[in-house]
Amino acid sequence: MEGEIGSRRVQLSLGLRIIGVGVSGIVAIESADLQESLKPFAMFVFVCRGELRFEVELDTGVMSGATIFIKEDLKISDPQVEILTGILSLCALVGSLTAGRVSDWIGRRYTIVLASSIFFVGSVLMGYAPFYSILLAGRCIAGVGVGYALMIAPVYSAEISAPLSRGFLTSLPALCISLGVLLGYISNYVFAKLTLKLGWRMMLGIAAVPSLALAIGVLKMPESPRWLVMQGRLKDANEVLLQICNSKEEAKLRLREIKSAVGIDECCTDDTVKLSKKTHGEGVWKELLLRPTPSVRRILLAAIGIHFFEHTTGIDAVVLYSPTIFKKAGVTSKDKLLLATIGVGFTKTLFTLVATFFLDKVGRRRLLLTSIGGMIVALAALGSGLTTVEHHFKEKLTWALGLSICSVYTFAAFYSIGLSPITWVYSSEIFPLKLRAQGVSIGVAVNRAMNATVSMSFISLYKAITIGGAFYLFTVISILAWIFFYFFLPETKGRSLEEIEIIFNPSSRSISIEEGVNIDKKPITVK
């Protein structure tokens, strides 16, 4: 039965048809080849919606345009703009580090409720914000909620998805983030027509409504079956698996694998089991950081590395400061700046959508290396275009303006087709079950730290080394990222979460880093 299920493939072919993408980020899909994914997909749409709502109008899309009006209304300086932009990510770092332990304690589902509630409070404060200090406080509170959301959404979706559709399902939050960025850009354009004092407050405050809806809607979702098994609740876990699997046989197989990973006898049929070490996160940090096994050490390196490079390759500079980049390139009208920025959001959304269809077919590794390769070319071209514009600031060079704008769109496209979704898919699926929540939280903490570093320093950076020089620096970092990914990130597509640790074991010499499969064609078993 294991071989039979393992041999099935989800063919995301041209026959797959998008029926509709709603404002809530729910994508309806019609394809016979996706039958295996339909049940977990139905359960997952609220998480996808949650990611959309957490990112829409705040961390990326809205802040890129809202800062123009906030700076004018509140009379703040460039350093204050940098702090305002980056503080959310710093607070998200704190949220992500605590979210792992919390999710092991109260469960994945209620952690999403908590994240939504925190974000709601932050959004209300930002929408009210009569002063810079209150706006900053709202950003801080919302940041904690974002940290929780970024940690728990990929963990939950990875734990509830089937192996062959996990890449597709776990990448959907990235699609929703891109949709959120696009909607944020569009809302900038729409709300910019309002009065100065009302416009940016509407941009930031409106996110409170959907975050409240998510907190209520998430209660309809099932709990993660893997978390339930860690608590010894085998009957509850089996009931959830029956909801999200296509057959009783598949549910039994997945339950058996999860029990084996937790250390429960596979033949145990009790409704509840009293575990000698009931997992609420105790001892996990020691196993992750102080006494990791060789495979855990390699997993941690891969997770930290991919999160580190996601932001140090320059995406925040492009998305958050795209109006500034376009202005430097020669676009002066506010309307044209915002419209050009909408193009960035549309490009990200379109290519993230493409990536979700190919993650389980092409694989994580190939898409990732292709993505970084395209980003390197785009960043080098953007650096050249902006440098040329700066050196000829007295004359308008149409070709340099066109090169800069096209390079921004090309960079956004290649980032969205690989690095953006794969960062969250990969880091959420490689950790062993017991270490997953805290392991992912470490990755998210690194992610937010790098996001904050780039967000809070980009203006100072380009003033120090020119804006073209800043993108040349991102080009060099992207080259280092390609080398790192090539040597340290093996393929994981098609493997169960319980099997993936074996791929990272240095003693597993017969495992191909390119395909993540056994070269000797012997079955991989979970001990």
Please list, in sequence order, all residues whose beta carbon lies within 8 angstroms of the beta carbon of residue 498, skipping any fewer than 6 positions away.
Answer: 257, 258, 260, 261, 433, 526
Residue with tokens 């993650």: 359
Q: Roughly what angle, to the nearest 10 degrees, separates helices 78-106 and 108-128?
A: 150
Question: Tell me, what's the pLDDT at 280?
Answer: 52
Q: Cβ–Cβ contacts within 10 Å for residue 258, how many?
A: 26
Largest Cα–Cα separation, the chain: 79
Percent of the chain with pLDDT over 90: 19
Over 60: is that where the pLDDT of 37 sits? no
Question: Stretch 95-108: mean pLDDT, rounded?
Answer: 87
Q: Higher confidence at residue 512 or residue 31?
A: 512
Contact 231/278 with Cβ under 8 angstroms? yes
Alpha-carbon distance of 46 to 113, in angstroms, equals 11
Tally helices (H) and strands (E) across the chain: 24, 2
Q: Is residue 94 part of a domain?
A: yes
C-alpha distance from residue 95 to each of 87, 143, 270 (Å): 12, 7, 36
Over 90: is that where the pLDDT of 209 sits? no
Q: Which of 499, 501, 521 is nearest to 510 (CA)?
A: 521
User: Which tokens belong to 433?
Assistant: 């079950």
Over 80: is that where the pLDDT of 5 sits? no
Percent of the chain with pLDDT over 70: 78
277 phi, psi to nearest 5 deg: -130, 90
Question: Stretch 65-90: mean pLDDT, rounded?
Answer: 84
Which amino acid is it at 405? Answer: I
Question: Tell me, what's the pLDDT at 50?
Answer: 46
User: Which tokens belong to 83?
Assistant: 């702090």
Q: Is residue 75 part of a domain?
A: yes
Q: Read off the pLDDT of residues 40-71 as tens digits, 9 standing for 90 and up.
A: 544 454 455 444 444 544 455 677 677 878 88
Question: Tell me, what's the pLDDT at 175?
Answer: 67
Task: Give the rounded distance of the alpha carbon of 313 from its chain centre.
Answer: 15
Alpha-carbon distance of 405 to 437, in angstroms, equals 39
Alpha-carbon distance of 10 to 30, in angstroms, equals 13
Q: Read off the pLDDT of residues 349-363 as tens digits, 9 standing for 90 and up.
A: 888 888 877 877 888
Which amino acid is it at 342? Answer: I
Question: Stretch 504-518: mean pLDDT, rounded?
Answer: 57
Confidence bin at 506 (pLDDT 50/70/90): low
Q: Is residue 408 part of a domain?
A: yes
Mean pLDDT over each residue of the chain, to the nearest integer: 77
Q: Read off the pLDDT of residues 449-460 as tens digits, 9 standing for 90 and up.
A: 898 888 888 888
Question: Stretch 415-425: mean pLDDT, rounded?
Answer: 90
With 0-12 CB in 10 A as exposed, 13-18 as middle and 19+ as buried, what is 77?
exposed
Q: Is residue 70 part of a domain?
A: yes
Alpha-carbon distance of 194 to 198, in angstroms, equals 6
Over 70: is that where the pLDDT of 228 sits? yes
User: Which tokens belong to 361?
Assistant: 């077919």
CATH number assigned to the domain comprising residue 470: 1.20.1250.20
Highest mean pLDDT among 4-13, 218-227, 355-364, 404-413 belongs to: 404-413
Q: Is residue 315 part of a domain?
A: yes
Alpha-carbon distance of 163 to 166, in angstroms, equals 5
Over 80: is that where the pLDDT of 87 sits? yes
Question: Stretch 89-118: mean pLDDT, rounded?
Answer: 88
Q: Is residue 522 part of a domain?
A: no
Q: Read off the pLDDT of residues 241-264 as tens digits, 9 standing for 90 and up.
A: 888 777 788 888 888 888 887 778
Question: Stretch 492-511: mean pLDDT, rounded?
Answer: 71
Number of domains, the chain: 1
Question: Stretch 444-449: mean pLDDT, rounded?
Answer: 88
Q: Is residue 521 part of a domain?
A: no
Confidence bin at 515 (pLDDT 50/70/90): low
Three-state secondary structure string covering 222-242:
CCCHHHHHHCCEHHHHHHHHH
Structural domain boundaries enclosing 33: 2-503
Q: Is residue 435 part of a domain?
A: yes
Task: Give the rounded distance of the alpha carbon of 523 from its chain centre.
Answer: 32
User: Which tokens belong to 98?
Assistant: 């605590």
Alpha-carbon distance of 232 to 282, in angstroms, equals 16
Which amino acid is it at 97? Answer: L
Alpha-carbon distance of 401 to 84, in angstroms, equals 29
Q: Read off the pLDDT of residues 288-340 as tens digits, 9 standing for 90 and up.
A: 888 888 889 999 999 999 999 999 999 988 877 777 778 777 777 777 777 77
Please list, in sequence order, all residues whose beta carbon lies within 8 angstroms of the beta carbon of residue 374, skipping any fewer than 6 positions away.
Answer: 410, 411, 413, 414, 417
Confidence bin at 35 (pLDDT 50/70/90): very low
With 0-12 CB in 10 A as exposed, 13-18 as middle and 19+ as buried, what is 206?
middle
